[in-house]
C-alpha cells in the first residue's frame, strides 16, 4: 500500500486539514462579531470546534509518523 506522501497530498486531504477548520473558524468569528448573545455563544463553540479539528489532524499525523518510525527502526534491527 502506498503512503500519502508518495502520491503527493490529495485535494480532499488539503480540504480536511486546512480549508474545513478555516471555514468553521471564519463562521465562528462572523457570529461572534455580528450576532446577539446566542449567536456569540455559537460562534465561540464553532471556533472551539475548528481548533479541535486542527488538533485531531495533528494527532493523526503524529501517530502516522510514529508508526513509520517504528517500522523503520524494526527494519534496521533486522538488517545485518
SS3 at position 79: coil
Q: What CA–CA distance (Å, rounded) separates 13 from 80?
A: 38
| Furthest CA-CA distance within the chain | 68
pLDDT grade, residue 2 (50/70/90)? very low
* pLDDT at residue 44, as a whole number: 96
Domain boundaries, the chain: 4-73
* Between 65 and 52, residue with greater pLDDT: 52
Q: What is the pLDDT of residue 75?
A: 83
- Is the pLDDT at 71 greater than 70? The verdict is yes
Q: List pLDDT tens digits, range 4-44.
A: 445 667 888 888 889 999 999 999 999 999 989 999 999 99
Amino acid at each position: 500500500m502506498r503512503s500519502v506522501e508518495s502520491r503527493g497530498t490529495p485535494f480532499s486531504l488539503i480540504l480536511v486539514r486546512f480549508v474545513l477548520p478555516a471555514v468553521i473558524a471564519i463562521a465562528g468569528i462572523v457570529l461572534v462579531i455580528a450576532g446577539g448573545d446566542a449567536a456569540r455563544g455559537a460562534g465561540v463553540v464553532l471556533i472551539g470546534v475548528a481548533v479541535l479539528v486542527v488538533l485531531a489532524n495533528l494527532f493523526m499525523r503524529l501517530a502516522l509518523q510514529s508508526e513509520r518510525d517504528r517500522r523503520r527502526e524494526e527494519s534496521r534491527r533486522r538488517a545485518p
